[in-house]
Structures are given as structure tokens and as C-alpha cells.
Chain A
């Protein structure tokens, strides 16, 4: 039954995605509100599933890979929905929502049984650690999409190619601003999540085990990339596509850490 609702959730996100793509392709103003409403509906259904799972398991569902992916999707969708209401621009939705759908489909395929987990995963400190990281990843997802669109728009401007991206996307400055703010917020939360995780881990594992842990290494690398993004802008005055490229690299690392390392590497983060 739960699997049915998970696929139903994909369908609701799918409808929202369809309308966002329609808005992007045809610029039908009438579809804008519909797209926003469907996304809100998807968020509500997703939040209800999240709450149901939480009550059933007796904990915040952020322990397994499947749970974290699903929560990441929910957080990113919420962040985007709020952003859309604030900036009144729908162009990013055509890219964010399909990305979320892909993540949800991956999640539905890899979602394992919510087996009995290690006792440490029931700790509030652990849950805050994961939620902080997921909030940061949600912000980085937004930054990733904004950076991709910024580069696409810049390319069309350079070639004076007045295609659909040129016509629909607002401005380079807009995406730069969104991406920079998202990275700033994400960096704060990734730092909180990382140090909280370290504090939790120190109580269970020794330092050597921690340093050889691929997930922690990947997170340090992600932190460094986004810290470079922040420092480069703040202290070296980086403008234009350089910071955007860095944000894309950071996000690729993030996906690598979340999916590839979790699935294919032997790591203590599997909590088996």
C-alpha cells in the first residue's frame, strides 16, 4: 500500500512537472498558477507520507538511503515553492521538478524495507545532523539548477541565439543571486550537520575509522568546494560562470556521495 502511495506521489510531481514544462515551452500564463498548485499538492501529499512514515517508525524517517532521498526531495520542493512565491518566476520549476521526479523514481527503486536500525539512529542529535545536511543539500540542488540555467543563458547571449532559453529565463544576475544565496545557506547547514555528525560519530567510532570513512571524506570535499565558492566570491570577487561551474561540480560530488558511495561502497554510514 505504501509503495502505491509512493508511486502516486511520483504521478502528482509528474503532473506538476508537466505543467512547469508547458509554462516553459509555451509560456502560457494560465498554466503558471496550475503548475504552482500541483507542486503544492505534491508537497502536501509528500508531507503526509513523511508524517505517516514517521508515526509508523516512531522516528524521523531519515535513516536509510531511501528515506533520506525522499526527505531531500521534500525539502528541495518546499524551498523551491517558497522561492517561487517570493521571486514570482516559474522558469526554474521546469528543471527542478523533473530533477526531483528522477530522484523520487531512483528512491522508489532503491527504497529498502524500513528495517530495525541501530539504536544511535533514534537519537535526536543524529536526526538534526541528517536534517541539517538534507536542508543544505536542498539549497545546493537549487544552486545547481540556477547555475546550469545561468550558464545556458550566458551561452545563448554570447551567440545571440534568441531561442527558448533566452526568451524564458529571466537574467544572468537573477540566477547568480539565487545560486549565491542558496550556497551561503547550504554552507551554514552543511557545516552544522557535519560537526554534529562528527560529534555523534566520535562517541561510537574512533578517529582512524572516521578518517577512512568515504562518506565523511566526500562530505569534507563537498564542504571545501562550496567553501571555495563562498570564498572566491567574497574575497576574490568572482563573477560570472566560474562560481556557477563550481556549484555544478559541488552538486555532482553531492550526488556521488549520496548515491554511489551509499550504494556501492562499504561504509559505516550504512548502519548495518
Chain B
């Protein structure tokens, strides 16, 4: 169980961005043998990050990527594979922006895009999500606590920085450009982006001057003869030996005519021999290209020295992540336990939408943890410090519900002796969970819809409307879509509530979570009654897994509470469980049936068939295919074992 990275260097610059379609996506999903992966692909480079539970990865990952057109078939490439901490470090470096390679920034942006716009060739899950969050956090820490990202790392950036150190704002300075080289446009682009608009061009070629004026605005002159008084910055792109270059005398004239207003001279082609003398003029800052290059080197060295401190931060994050990856808490999220893909997907969605204000509709069978999900959304949002109010719409009499939700004015009805705040007002700036929203009467549905559209409520008997900031989360165990069809629920409210729907799976559909949940409840209730029950007997485990849990987690919680109260030893035995749970033991599908040497052939066959059925989620057709028997045979055998009712019909 670890992170891997595959870095591919393409040996031909002619490589293009590949076209990735659904067919290739399916192929990748089938052959990558990992639970989560990220593909960073652009012209000239490709990098694959993946998280796999086992080390059985494709021997030739390059070939898999070629099949999906993520690597070109006709171009040569080299592969560098990293695993474990090395791969985690590479990922963190990329997200945090520590990759100083020219394409480093590109990588960083691509990773961010993967998480902001999921889908396509990448399939990140909770593991990469956590690693990504760590990378972002590292980036922020480095940005806020060091100068690492503030160093100018090329001559253009140094030039801009120098200008900003002299004038602060660059939008009023006049830049005079003398001559032209291949780098001129890049420098002018940078200055234009920084807000410079006043350019004067002196070029020997009329066409060039016109082109520059068209691109960057400003004026053009025929040839350079003297430094104009309004010049604030002189950018010289002329070869040495050229007669038309500014000299000390010209600059002294400009300084005296402008009352020594600061002047920045940058000799980009190192062509002015007297630059040092010019530099001595009062308030003239003159630099050659080579001096700027030296500064770049200095900045790089200082930045590199900082890596020692930053490296220790990265190391801490790696250790922390590695520990998390190997711990049970990997399957925990904001107080919820769930290792199944369905639950992991829900955790991922929660972490994504928590910071937004969108309305969420949570549905699922009774006892699946809808309130916990709503609480997690609230806790992870910016409203965490504000109230989280839960109202069970089905538990309050219809005639009281309106005043409970929206409050009432004094004298609004008989008995309303004083003004009362509604739950919406109490939840202001926080979150309101409308549990069993399907029970909301039609008259109140209109009022709720009005709030969701305008964030305003009108208390009962009041003429004033209140503007509130409440995030509404609705929960139900009913099929709202069906209720809309039957006319029991307003369709407009349904669509307004259903901006994002989270469907919680029933406990019987996430059997892997039963034991971790049992352990969790066991610890909690043992602590409460001062008992020391830590273990669960094998038979009890089997019974717990086999039982269909129609009441879901709430039922499991109650069963464990009862079992802890009844238990006499340090181990939870099958006899501590209620009878109906004990009875489910005969449906258990042992995972390690081969170990039990005392099983008869018939029993072995029974176990194997039930295990296969369980693996196929009781899909008879698929199970028959896997077992290599007909459907009638399977039916007959199940009847023989006494499980003809089956777990699922």
C-alpha cells in the first residue's frame, strides 16, 4: 500500500497533447491496477502518480499509457519510477511549487486543475486528496513564512523588481526602448503586464518600430540622438560600437532638465563601455545585463539555502502522511467511519462542497448517518464556529412547525405572549438541517422555497422580513423524486434542495465497515460502563457481518450498547448479541474456508457458492458465470442449504 510515481521524459519535442476519450479511460481504469491515480500530460512530458493497495502493478506501465495514447507510440521516452516517500515528496514538491524545473509551475497548475475539475484521465480519491491538501498547506506556509517565492529568478523579473523598487507603481513611468533584439518583446510583454503603457521606441527599422507601437502602444522615433527629458527608464538593445548609444553627457543633460528625477538605465546587450561612470551620476541607476544575471545567480543560491528549512517541513508532512496512510484513521472522516469506495466518495464530496454555500440534499435509509454527514459539512465549512441547528420536520406538529421554523411576532396567535425567534434566525450565519424534509407540509414548502431563493423569512404575524445567512441542508429517507411525481412534494423546492445529492449507502451494502464500526462503538460503550471489552469473538464477527442490519448504523449501535451491558468478560461473544443477530450466523460466508480441514465437501461447496454470491453482490447471473453452473442449479443448491430466501432475491 503506497504511492508510486512514473516520470516520463519524451525525447522528441514534436510530441503533441494526446486525445483522451472514454474508451481509453476505460482501458486505463482496467489495467492500471491502482485505486487512485493522477496523470499529468502535456506536450513534451508525462507523469503518472498512483496509489495502490498492493505492489502488483503492471510490469510495463509505459505500455499501458501507450495503449491509452497518454504516451506516444512512435516516440522514444525514458521512465523514472519512484515509490513510497520519494514519490510522496515529489508530489508535495509539485503541489507546493518547489519544483524549480522550468515546467514545475506547469505541473503545479495541472495538479490543481485535476482537483478542481475532476474526471478525464485522472481518478483521485481520498488518499491523493489528503496529499493535495498537504501540498497546498505547505505552499501557503512557505508563501507566508519565507521569501522563497519572492525571488526574481530571471533577468526580466529582476528588471521589473528594480523598477518597482524605484517607483513603486509602474503605470506612470515613460520607458524609452533603444534598438531591438529577440528578447525585447518578452521584456516589453512583462512590463506591459506590470502596467507600463508609456513606451517610446527608437529602432533602425521603421517596420519594427511600427509593429512595436501597434503591440504595446506608445510613440516611435526615427533614430536615437539624445535622451529625452521625460524618459524614466532606458532599455538599450543595441550592439556595442553603435554610435547612437546614450552616454554620460546625454544622461547628465536629462538629469538636470528633470531636477534629478530617478532614471533607470538597463544595457541589455552589454554595449555601453561607460556604464560605470553613468552609474555614478546622481539618482541614475544603471545596470548591464551581466550584472542582472549575477543577481539572478545570487537569488538562486539564497533560495536554494532556504530549501534546508523548507525540506524539514516537507519531511514532517511526509512522515505525517505516511503514518496516516498506515493507520486505521485513513478510513475515518470528520467522526465518520467508512472504508468502502461509496463512503470514500462521499467523504471526498463533503470535503469539496463544505466550503461552498450550496444546498445539499442527503438521502439514505433511516440510521445511515445523515445527521453526521450534515454535521461534517458544517464542521468543515467556514460556519463551523456558528450554530448548527437540527430540526426534525416530522416530529413537530404541523400547526406549530411554521412558528418553530420562522418564529412569530408578539400577539400573532392566541398564546403568543411574546416574540419568539425561529430556528432559521437562531441558525443565522450557521447551518440548518431540515431532517425528514419530506414531512414538511405543502404550505411551508412555499415558505422554505422563498427563503432558499431570497434568503428572507417573515415571522408569523410580522410585517417585517428578515434577511438571514443560513446554509440549508435537507435530509430524508424517502424518495423525493417519487413524491414529486405523486404531487406530495413541490417540484420547484425539490430542484432547489437537490443542488447536490448525497446518497448514503445502507450498512448491508458496506459490510467492510461493520467491524470497524463495531470496534468504535465497543470502545465508546465500554468506556461509558467502565468495562474493558476490546475483542470480538470470531463467531460474533461472523454474525455481525451476516446480519442484514435493516436499521443500519443506529441498529448496530444499539446492538453493541446492549452487548456491552450484557457482556461479562473482555471479549464480545455471540451470546451477547440479540437472538436475531445470532441467527444470521448460518448465512456467514467464511473468507478462509480452506483453513478449516474438518469441512465436508458439501460444506465446502456451500461456503464457496455463498462466498461467490457475496462477492458478486448477490447478482445471480454473474455468480453463475463465475461458478460455471446454470441458474437452475444454483437455485436448487441454495434451496438445499436452506438459504433459498437469500440475502437478495
Say whether A associates with B: yes
**A residues at B contact (CB < 8 Å):** 26-30, 153, 157-158, 160, 162, 166-167, 169-174, 236-242
When A30-B144, A162-B298 are in contact, do A172 and B259 touch as well, CB less than 8 Å? no
A153 near B262 (CB under 8 angstroms)? no
B287 near A166 (CB under 8 angstroms)? no
A28 near B165 (CB under 8 angstroms)? no
Q: Which of B19-27, B145-153, B620-628 contacts A (4 or more CB under 8 A)?
A: B145-153
B162 near A28 (CB under 8 angstroms)? no
When A157-B162, A171-B166, A239-B259 are in contact, do A27 and B147 touch as well, CB less than 8 Å? yes
Shortest Cβ gap from B138 to chain A (Å): 15
Q: Which residues of A contact B164 (CB under 8 A)?
A: 171
Complexed CA–CA distance, A26 and B164 (Å): 21
Q: Which of B278-286, B361-369, B385-393, B518-526 contacts A (4 or more CB under 8 A)?
A: B278-286
- Which of B146, B283, B285 interacts with A26 by CB under 8 Å? B146
Q: Which residues of B contact A172 (CB under 8 A)?
A: 165-167, 262
Q: Decide if B269 is an interface residue (CB 8 Å cutoff).
A: no
B167 near A27 (CB under 8 angstroms)? no
Q: Which residues of A contact B147 (CB under 8 A)?
A: 27, 167
Complexed CA–CA distance, A242 and B143 (Å): 37
Q: Which residues of A contact B291 (CB under 8 A)?
A: 160
A240 near B165 (CB under 8 angstroms)? no
A237 near B259 (CB under 8 angstroms)? yes
B295 near A26 (CB under 8 angstroms)? no
Complexed CA–CA distance, A238 and B261 (Å): 8
Interface flags, B572-600, vs A, CB<8A=1, else 0: 00000000000000000000000000000
What are 24 A-B pairs at a CB distance below 8 A?
Answer: A26-B146, A27-B147, A27-B150, A28-B145, A30-B144, A153-B165, A157-B166, A160-B294, A160-B295, A166-B165, A167-B147, A170-B168, A171-B164, A171-B165, A172-B165, A172-B166, A172-B167, A173-B166, A173-B167, A173-B169, A239-B283, A240-B260, A240-B262, A242-B260
Shortest Cβ gap from A177 to chain B (Å): 8
A239 near B260 (CB under 8 angstroms)? yes
When A162-B298, A171-B164 are in contact, do A29 and B259 touch as well, CB less than 8 Å? no
Q: Which residue of A lies closest to B143 (CB)?
A: A29
Q: Decide if B503 is an interface residue (CB 8 Å cutoff).
A: no
Q: Which residues of A contact B260 (CB under 8 A)?
A: 237-240, 242
Q: Decide if B477 is an interface residue (CB 8 Å cutoff).
A: no
Shortest Cβ gap from B418 to chain A (Å): 41
Complexed CA–CA distance, A256 and B166 (Å): 32
Shortest Cβ gap from B468 to chain A (Å): 30
Interface flags, B110-153, vs A, CB<8A=1, else 0: 00000000000000000000000000000000011111001000
Interchain pairs with CB closer than 8 A, number = 63
A171 near B298 (CB under 8 angstroms)? no
B interface residues, tally (CB under 8 Å): 28
Complexed CA–CA distance, A55 and B169 (Å): 48
- Which of B167, B169, B287, B302 interacts with A160 by CB under 8 Å? B287
Q: Decide if B299 is an interface residue (CB 8 Å cutoff).
A: yes
The 3 A-B pairs with the shortest beta carbon distances in the complex, nearest first, are: A237-B259, A171-B168, A240-B283
Complexed CA–CA distance, A30 and B291 (Å): 34
Q: Which residue of B lies closest to A153 (CB)?
A: B165
Q: Which residues of B contact A242 (CB under 8 A)?
A: 260
Instruction: With a 10 A CB-CB cut-off, give which of A29, A167, A170, A174 has the most chain B CB atoms.
Output: A167
Q: Which residues of A contact B143 (CB under 8 A)?
A: 29
Report whether over half of chain B's contact residues are helix, strand or loop; otherwise say mixed: helix
Complexed CA–CA distance, A240 and B167 (Å): 12
Shortest Cβ gap from B364 to chain A (Å): 41
A238 near B295 (CB under 8 angstroms)? no
- Which of B167, B285, B287, B294 interacts with A171 by CB under 8 Å? B167
B259 near A174 (CB under 8 angstroms)? no
Shortest Cβ gap from B143 to chain A (Å): 8
Instruction: With a 10 A CB-CB cut-off, give which of B143, B146, B261, B262 has the most chain A CB atoms.
Output: B262
- Which of A27, A30, A162 interacts with B299 by CB under 8 Å? A162
Shortest Cβ gap from A155 to chain B (Å): 11
Shortest Cβ gap from A166 to chain B (Å): 7
Complexed CA–CA distance, A241 and B279 (Å): 15
When A162-B299, A237-B259, A239-B259 are in contact, do A26 and B145 touch as well, CB less than 8 Å? yes
Complexed CA–CA distance, A166 and B146 (Å): 15
Q: Which residues of A contact B299 (CB under 8 A)?
A: 162
Complexed CA–CA distance, A162 and B164 (Å): 14
Instruction: With a 10 A CB-CB cut-off, give which of A27, A28, A162, A237 has the most chain B CB atoms.
Output: A162
A167 near B259 (CB under 8 angstroms)? no
A157 near B165 (CB under 8 angstroms)? yes
Shortest Cβ gap from B574 to chain A (Å): 56
Shortest Cβ gap from A153 to chain B (Å): 7
A174 near B283 (CB under 8 angstroms)? no
Instruction: With a 10 A CB-CB cut-off, give which of B164, B169, B283 has the most chain A CB atoms.
Output: B283
Q: Which residues of B contact A169 (CB under 8 A)?
A: 165
A27 near B282 (CB under 8 angstroms)? no
Q: Which residues of B contact A238 (CB under 8 A)?
A: 259-260
Complexed CA–CA distance, A127 and B143 (Å): 49
- Which of A27, A153, A158, A173 interacts with B279 by CB under 8 Å? A158
Complexed CA–CA distance, A53 and B166 (Å): 45
Q: Which residues of A contact B287 (CB under 8 A)?
A: 160
Complexed CA–CA distance, A162 and B283 (Å): 18
Q: Which residue of A lies closest to B173 (CB)?
A: A173
Complexed CA–CA distance, A114 and B197 (Å): 61
Q: Which residues of B contact A171 (CB under 8 A)?
A: 164-168
Q: Which residues of A contact B167 (CB under 8 A)?
A: 171-173
Complexed CA–CA distance, A167 and B147 (Å): 9
B295 near A162 (CB under 8 angstroms)? yes
Q: Which residues of B contact A240 (CB under 8 A)?
A: 260, 262, 282-283
Give 13 A-B pairs besides A162-B298, A169-B165 with Cβ atoms closer than 8 angstroms: A26-B146, A27-B146, A28-B145, A158-B285, A162-B295, A167-B147, A172-B165, A172-B262, A173-B166, A173-B169, A239-B259, A240-B260, A240-B262
B145 near A30 (CB under 8 angstroms)? yes
Q: Which residues of A contact B168 (CB under 8 A)?
A: 170-171, 173-174
Shortest Cβ gap from A92 to chain B (Å): 14
Complexed CA–CA distance, A155 and B295 (Å): 15
Q: Which residue of B lies closest to A174 (CB)?
A: B168
